[in-house]
Amino acid sequence: MTDLKTRTGTELEWTELDQKAVDTTRALAADAVQKAGNGHPGTAISLAPLAYLLFQKVMRRDPSDSTWLGRDRFILSNGHSSLTQYLQFFLGGYGLEIEDLEQLRQYGSKTPGHPEYGHTDGIEITTGPLGSGLAASVGFAYASRFERGLFDPDAAAGDSPFDHYIYCVAGDGDIEEGVTNEASSLAGTQQLGNLIVFYDDNQISIEDDTNIALSEDVAKRYEALGWHVQTVDWKSGADYHEDVPALYAAILEAQRVTDKPSFIVLKTIIGWPSPTLRNTGKIHGSAMGEAEIKGLKEALELDPEKTFFVEPEVLAHTRRAVGRGQAQHAEWNQGFDAWAEANPERKALLDRVLAGDLPEDAFADVPEFPAGKAVSTRVASGKVINGLAKRFPEFWGGSADLAESNNTTIEGVGSFLPPERATAMWKANPYGRVLHFGIREHAMGNILNGIVLHGNTRVFGATFLIFSDYMRPAVRLAALMKAPTIYVWTHDSVALGGDGPTHQPVETLWALRLIPQLDIIRPADANETAAAWKQIMSRRMGPAGLALSRQNLPVFERGEGEASGDVFASTDGVAKGAYVLAAAKKDVPDVILIATGSEVQVAVAAREALASEGIDASVVSAPCLEWFDEQSAEYKESVLPAAVKARVSVEAGATLGWAKYIGDQGRAVGIDHFGASADGDFLLQEFGITHEHVVAAAKESLGR
Amino acid sequence: MTDLKTRTGTELEWTELDQKAVDTTRALAADAVQKAGNGHPGTAISLAPLAYLLFQKVMRRDPSDSTWLGRDRFILSNGHSSLTQYLQFFLGGYGLEIEDLEQLRQYGSKTPGHPEYGHTDGIEITTGPLGSGLAASVGFAYASRFERGLFDPDAAAGDSPFDHYIYCVAGDGDIEEGVTNEASSLAGTQQLGNLIVFYDDNQISIEDDTNIALSEDVAKRYEALGWHVQTVDWKSGADYHEDVPALYAAILEAQRVTDKPSFIVLKTIIGWPSPTLRNTGKIHGSAMGEAEIKGLKEALELDPEKTFFVEPEVLAHTRRAVGRGQAQHAEWNQGFDAWAEANPERKALLDRVLAGDLPEDAFADVPEFPAGKAVSTRVASGKVINGLAKRFPEFWGGSADLAESNNTTIEGVGSFLPPERATAMWKANPYGRVLHFGIREHAMGNILNGIVLHGNTRVFGATFLIFSDYMRPAVRLAALMKAPTIYVWTHDSVALGGDGPTHQPVETLWALRLIPQLDIIRPADANETAAAWKQIMSRRMGPAGLALSRQNLPVFERGEGEASGDVFASTDGVAKGAYVLAAAKKDVPDVILIATGSEVQVAVAAREALASEGIDASVVSAPCLEWFDEQSAEYKESVLPAAVKARVSVEAGATLGWAKYIGDQGRAVGIDHFGASADGDFLLQEFGITHEHVVAAAKESLGR
């Protein structure tokens, strides 16, 4: 193996062909946006030297294999400048051709407006929402250290096939968004030496000169956050000078610093050398116009009459990246094969993790909870997490400073922290499995995305359900990418009590259920919680969020199979999203009570009260409506028979979405207003989340 | 008038009674949480000296009048420590008594778990979601400068009745949340000299020692953000020493710095002098237990047998704050009266703004848009904004770096910026009316809250609709407080085109409509946009968000009144939230097509197509479902007759919530999946937002 710190050669070779290749990408960027009619040419033009340097001279990547484990990762946080990446994918032979550039921002093309994970081969993560990429790059760096610990913990630093760099390019928007300050603070705490971030400091955003909104000293801020900071100023001389060797030297220096993440401020002129639009907000996000493009090409000494043109010898030169990458890959394979031979068990683990398979007896240590005793689902979840952790070494996670409240601590495995971050309460281990995000929910969300995308480990993050709002943009990105992150959201209703309306979710469950490709699971008792976790660990189709109670809930006495008579169903139905927990006496119930989470017990009590009045009700526990929606029509009919129009939903939150399940004749028992600071049980009474109210609603629905 | 810079006396008087009062509040904090059974005693105990110093010695406030315009504002960003504020309200005679402290966190009490605006007299803003208070305090400081410019622009610095300080207390959570970095960067850019923030640097959060997640140099970071930073270290000596004079001196120094916001790092031991729980995460958020409270009281030399006890002479001493405040108020009144006499027009403006009244001919300059020409609702909104701005001098706002896309620039009034922040594109004026938030949506949301709460001016903030997710926690707080902030959210569907799924809202409209007390308005054409703005300016019942199109939409030809025959209704119905835009031929339509925003034209086209097949449809334009829900049953019946079960909703987004309006027999035309990068018109076709599809859905709903 080549040592990670010295892997990039110390001499930069930068020929006329290299420069011509860089200049060619500038022209192609202008052409592509012009043809599309809209897009973002400016940064793609001015960052062309950086992008080329990284993809052709610095990063270890194999254009012919985007799945190579040993590759350096590249994250374009300023995702609107997707051309920056596409153009290097074109030059470097990653599978994009001129035709793809011509199809920029067209339906189904490989070159959408923002880089899309799972859509264009080689894209590591979907970016565009500003700040998300830089924040996720911290997660990539977390993952690279964790995976090294999992698979090759004893190798010398920089010596393992699991060692590589995470490179991230960010713009003003990324720097201004608060989520990057959150994530960058964690990166400093974690001493992520393999993370190198470039800040394209061009002092231009959409509203032109950033002096109106960004006057801070960004470099000093990153120093304060514990980063190694360098500035490469291409504007320092009388004329703008794209000093590539200086940038290269800074990258080498950043590679040598192994105990801090590195931040390289690159001062550029956006759109340079575009004749009139450079250094203006206009070139950020609009087509430049024919005249300006002509001027650009002339300034670059390219033929202004040609569009989408690359000289064959330029392309031949840059496509040599494929051979270089394959050679690097082959060299890496030797080290990897040696590791695999010496570590057959770890190799088997790696194969399983990459395949997304379950371990043997995956759920053997997940507890069953005895009926009768009251347990909150958050406490049950904590026990399940610890049961899973014994069988899934790739399972890790933590909380945004609410570990004890969220019940998310894996015991006995140490915190993922450098040694000097140990405290009286927490043991520190660079390869530990307990994550401490601080009070930074949004960064947590993006870091989870980065972790999952990097190496397919299973990771969870936790906070109060209400604060899912803080992390919502990152949750949406996970859903868009179908990244199987896991969220542990506790304190899931007004029943949390005295903290009051700022902390009490009301609209939150439905607001989350609205996000496509996101599963929201709200288990009714401890054993549903265990079943939910098992299903989450078995599925890998996208993100999943658990909504868990603060308050204790009875653990239902259950039978072995389906509900029958007075015997409640087993938890097998949890995986189907909704199931008949308590059957009606008749084949067809008079009324269906459908409830989730802590309100299932309310529905159960209502069923008994209705029975005493001769009304035959079934109780449907519906922990995950997304899973239920996937079921066959037959199964759905068995749970919610179409003939039964009398239905009541019970959920201590907004009622809006329930109409889909209860129909016109149904009644929704819920809370469509903000909560209040008071005892939780009191509030449930006050707000009508009671079996009496459910009984009344059932009668209303029955027209009685 | 006393000059603002020298208003606080230079000599601190700190007697034994003062110290006893401070110590009494510590015991009361412990007692209150113990009685409630849960809550947050730790910070209330250790910050007692700071809170007492501010409320008794520093701030200019009149406990008998919480509405006094000239008061210094106090914002407790670490809202969980609400006792910090309640205890000073008790000591200082603000209306809280021992009984209120005994009712901590009880339903309806004046002492809820977190400070609630509009609930407890004297609370300036609801806090609790971390970071929100500090970010909003920047908005308070924005407002104080803007209002000074509106009412008394020519007074010497510190000399106006509109000059005062904004004091904010923040904890580790506030510092870790990214939103405060966003807002603090803006505060530095804006040189907010009257903003003084205290950072309670106790190195303890819920997961105990913050070394696991907060290792950055916070003081240096705030220097980098352009703040004046001081550190007062009570832990620097061999023993912990609460050096109140040093803290006082730092406050005086902060007051003297008028060109930068001030940040005072106060290093404390949480819970000091609690014998065993101090300096631990345990004392942050739990009742301490009887033994610990006894130890605390003994350490304070208070009687451990007494609970909720304050010595009469202590209370008599601290209640003198009422008289002092009234005297300050009376002195201020002289200056204010002199100003009022010299500035009768400005005084009338002030009275109107405080009353929340409209100006005369408020809407005289709001344009009417001629039918026929296609105009996007974002462009129409921009023209309306400029029309309103002529009549409402208290109307200001801007964008999170998308001014041109959001069409939010008030022309000719200058940007709200210190002179040295002027750029080629933007004129700077400290009292300007155009706001530049940078790419910081979350801070924008909180700053808007602070602005509205400070002095009742009308302010708007803008971004793309999808990025309402970034500001969602702040929007929720506005709704909870019923603060009439205004959001201009443009690019409101997949029709925005090539930017792709990261930028295309799908679930967003319903996710926002789920928030209680928030109005979401999606106008169908330019004239509905004008009507919507008028209604927003007339209502002040809570926040309102406009969802506006990127793409051009036809301006409907309308009649003068209700829809009749082929004559479309006037825009009068906009204020009712939904109205019959195009009537059916018969009294009772065969089918109702209900649509919002850009999809109303689709419904109109479908109505024509249906007519050609002999199906009689009405088109209901529903710009604001919240306003519609408020209407009388009669009005609702006139728009959506119960007898008509055949209904189709049309909205280019998630369909979830439409069931409420279209019922079991209805059909929802919408988009329940993520978007794609492509031309907007193409996507609408591809995703079935077409009149053909609406026609088919109408027939399905009719059972044909």
| Chain B positions in Cβ-Cβ contact with residue A684 (cut-off 8 Å) | none
CA pair distance B260, A376, nearest whole angstrom:
49
For residues A40 and A204, the answer to whether their CB atoms sit within 8 Å is no
| Chain B positions in Cβ-Cβ contact with residue A515 (cut-off 8 Å) | 507, 511
For residues B639 and B584, the answer to whether their CB atoms sit within 8 Å is no
pLDDT of residue B4: 62
pLDDT of residue A2: 47
* Residues carrying CATH 3.40.50.970, chain A: 16-326, 374-553
Q: How distant, in Å, are the alpha carbons of A98, A413, A519, A687 from that of A671?
A: 56, 41, 22, 7
- CATH number of the B561-702 domain: 3.40.50.920
What mean pLDDT do residues A22-50 have? 97
List the catalytic residue out of B147, B182, B441, B599.
Answer: B441
With a pLDDT cut of 90, the percent of chain B lying above it is 98
Partner-chain contact B206 A401, CB within 8 Å? yes
pLDDT at A424 over 50: yes
To the nearest whole Å, the CA of B79 is away from the closest chain A CA by 10
CA pair distance B311, B297, nearest whole angstrom:
14
For residues A406 and A490, the answer to whether their CB atoms sit within 8 Å is yes
Q: Note every long-range contact of B627-635, with CB atoms under 8 Å and residues 24 or more positions apart, other chains counting.
A: B627/B519, B627/B521, B627/B535, B627/B575, B627/B576, B627/B577, B627/B578, B628/B576, B628/B577, B628/B578, B629/B577, B630/B577, B631/B576, B631/B577, B635/B576
Q: How distant, in Å, are the alpha carbons of A657, B26, B33, B304 from that of B294?
A: 51, 12, 14, 5
Pairing of strands B519-521, B544-548: parallel
Across chain B, mean pLDDT equals: 97
pLDDT at A396 over 80: yes
The beta strands (E) that lie in A528-678 are given as 544-548, 553-554, 579-582, 591-595, 617-621, 647-650, 667-669
A588 CB-contact burial (10 Å; exposed 0-12 / middle 13-18 / buried 19+) = exposed
Q: Is the peptide bond before A501 cis (omega within 30 degrees of 0)?
A: no
| Chain B positions in Cβ-Cβ contact with residue A505 (cut-off 8 Å) | none
Q: How distant, in Å, are the alpha carbons of A363, A380, B365 from that of A555?
A: 20, 10, 65
Topology of the domain comprising A374-553: Rossmann fold (3.40.50)
Q: Which residues sit opposite A520 in a β-bridge?
A: A545
Please write the tens of the pLDDT for every residue from B339-364: 999 999 999 999 999 999 999 999 99
N- to C-terminal Cα separation, chain B: 79
Nearest CA in chain A to B399: A207
Please write the tens of the pLDDT for every residue from B521-550: 999 999 999 999 999 999 999 999 999 999
Task: Give me the torsion for CA of A82, A87, A92, A98, rounded to 10°.
Answer: 120
Who's near A678: CB < 8 A, 6+ residues apart? A497, A498, A500, A686, B105, B106, B107, B108
To the nearest whole Å, the CA of A209 is away from the closest chain B CA by 6
For residues B41 and B271, the answer to whether their CB atoms sit within 8 Å is yes
Query: Which amino acid belongs to residue B196?
Result: I
Residues of A noted as catalytic: 441
DSSP summary character for residue A572: G
- CATH number of the A567-702 domain: 3.40.50.920
- CATH number of the B16-326 domain: 3.40.50.970
- Residue B642: CB atoms within 10 A of its CB come to 9
pLDDT at B642 over 50: yes
Partner-chain contact A116 B678, CB within 8 Å? no
pLDDT of residue B405: 97
Please write the tens of the pLDDT for every residue from B429-477: 999 999 999 999 999 999 999 999 999 999 999 999 999 999 999 999 9
Show the CA angle centred on residue B528, arms to residues B527 and B530, nearest 5°: 65
Please write the tens of the pLDDT for every residue from A449-461: 999 999 999 999 9
Look up residue A148 and give its two tokens. Answer: 């090294």
Q: Which residues sit opposite B648 in a β-bridge?
A: B593, B667
Nearest CA in chain B to A501: B480
For residues B502 and B445, the answer to whether their CB atoms sit within 8 Å is no
pLDDT of residue B2: 46
CA pair distance A98, A251, nearest whole angstrom:
30
For residue B1, name the pLDDT band (cuts at 50, 70, 90). very low
| Chain A positions in Cβ-Cβ contact with residue B208 (cut-off 8 Å) | 423-426
For residues B272 and B279, the answer to whether their CB atoms sit within 8 Å is yes
CA pair distance A183, A160, nearest whole angstrom:
26
CA pair distance B670, B657, nearest whole angstrom:
11
Ramachandran angles phi, psi of B688, nearest 5°: 80, 20
For residue A4, name the pLDDT band (cuts at 50, 70, 90). low
CA pair distance B61, B354, nearest whole angstrom:
19
**Rg of chain A's alpha carbons, rounded to an integer?**
28
Ramachandran angles phi, psi of A627, nearest 5°: -65, -40
pLDDT at A8 over 70: no
Binding site: what residues of B are annotated?
40, 80, 128-130, 172-173, 202, 204, 284, 378, 405, 467, 491, 499, 503, 550
To the nearest whole Å, the CA of B123 is away from the closest chain A CA by 15
For residue A6, name the pLDDT band (cuts at 50, 70, 90). low
Q: Which residue has the tokens 């630093």?
A: A157
Across chain A, mean pLDDT equals: 97
pLDDT at B651 over 50: yes
Q: Which residues sit opposite A486 in a β-bridge?
A: A460, A544
Partner-chain contact A499 B225, CB within 8 Å? no
pLDDT at B417 over 50: yes
For residue B505, name the pLDDT band (cuts at 50, 70, 90). very high
For residues A64 and A122, the answer to whether their CB atoms sit within 8 Å is no
A vs B, Cβ pairs < 8 A, gives 366
Please write the tens of the pLDDT for every residue from B144-155: 999 999 999 999
The alpha helices in B407-525, defined as continuous H runs, are 441-455, 468-481, 508-513
Residue among B477, B516, B672 minimizing CB distance to A673: B516
pLDDT of residue B3: 55
The H or E element spanning position B525 is none
CA pair distance A455, A447, nearest whole angstrom:
13
To the nearest whole Å, the CA of B227 is away from the closest chain A CA by 9
Residue among A213, A477, A480 minimizing CB distance to B186: A213
Partner-chain contact B439 A226, CB within 8 Å? no
Binding site for thiamine diphosphate: what residues of B are annotated?
80, 128-130, 173, 202, 284, 467
Nearest CA in chain A to B176: A439
For residue B518, name the pLDDT band (cuts at 50, 70, 90). very high
| Chain B positions in Cβ-Cβ contact with residue A34 (cut-off 8 Å) | none
pLDDT at B8 over 80: no
Query: Which amino acid belongs to residue A119?
Result: H
Please write the tens of the pLDDT for every residue from A253-275: 999 999 999 999 999 999 999 99
Q: Which of B207, B667, B679, B687 to mutate to test the interface with A (most CBs of A within 10 A)?
A: B207
B374-401+435-553 belongs to which homologous superfamily?
Answer: Thiamin diphosphate (ThDP)-binding fold, Pyr/PP domains (3.40.50.970)
pLDDT of residue A1: 40
Q: Which of A33, A216, A626, A674 to mutate to test the interface with B (most CBs of B within 10 A)?
A: A216
Who's near A16: CB < 8 A, 6+ residues apart? none
For residue A318, name the pLDDT band (cuts at 50, 70, 90). very high
pLDDT of residue A10: 72
Show the CA angle centred on residue B533, arms to residues B527 and B534, nearest 5°: 90
CA pair distance A325, A320, nearest whole angstrom:
9
| Chain B positions in Cβ-Cβ contact with residue A659 (cut-off 8 Å) | 659-660
| Chain B positions in Cβ-Cβ contact with residue A424 (cut-off 8 Å) | 208-209
Look up residue A549 and give its two tokens. Answer: 């109670």
The alpha helices in A300-440, defined as continuous H runs, are 312-318, 320-342, 344-355, 377-391, 403-406
pLDDT of residue A7: 65
* Residues carrying CATH 3.40.50.920, chain B: 561-702
Pairing of strands A195-201, A428-429: unpaired
pLDDT at A428 over 70: yes
Q: Which of B181, B467, B471 to mutate to test the interface with A (most CBs of A within 10 A)?
A: B181
Please write the tens of the pLDDT for every residue from A130-166: 999 999 999 999 999 999 999 999 999 989 999 999 9
Q: Which of A215, A425, A491, A510 to mutate to test the interface with B (most CBs of B within 10 A)?
A: A215
CA pair distance A397, A487, nearest whole angstrom:
10
What mean pLDDT do residues B57-73 have? 98
What mean pLDDT do residues A642-665 have? 97
pLDDT of residue B6: 54
| Chain B positions in Cβ-Cβ contact with residue A514 (cut-off 8 Å) | 507, 510-511, 514, 654, 656
- The full 3-state SS of B614-644, as one line of letters, equals CCCEEEEECCCHHHHHCCCHHHHHHHCCCCC
Partner-chain contact B502 A470, CB within 8 Å? no
Whether the CA torsion B389, B393, B394, B400 is positive or negative: it is positive
Nearest CA in chain A to B683: A107
Look up residue B570 and give its two tokens. Answer: 């006037």
